[in-house]
Amino acid sequence: MITNTASHVSPSRYEQENDLAFRATAEMRKSGHRLLKWFGALSTALLCAAALAPKVFGISAGLYPWVFLTAIFWSFAFCAGMFDL
């Protein structure tokens, strides 16, 4: 009787960290994460500024309430961690 067994042991974490492709992918994720956080912060600041002073940004009077509501929901999403993926 011949029994084929396969090893169920996965490679160690240390071996994966030393892999060049693994490190490059991790760096790309960090830079993408940093870019997403800056985008979220800047867009939230601009949207809140537009909601508080819509005439400065040239927003028509009919859109004032919608810009204000959007700013509230966008700020809530930012504070809830939507940009901390």
Residue 25 lies in a domain: no
Average pLDDT in the 7-11 region? 61
Residue 49 lies in a domain: yes
> Tokens at residue 18, please?
């030393």
Residue 48 lies in a domain: yes
Average pLDDT in the 39-43 region? 87
Q: For the chain, how big is the Rg over CA atoms in Å? A: 24
Residue 53 lies in a domain: yes
pLDDT at 39: 85
pTM for the complete prediction? 0.59
pLDDT at 60: 92
Number of domains in the chain: 1
Average pLDDT in the 24-42 region? 75
Residue 2 lies in a domain: no
Domain that residue 83 falls in:
31-85
Predicted confidence (pLDDT) at residue 37 exceeds the cutoff of 80:
yes
Residue 4 lies in a domain: no
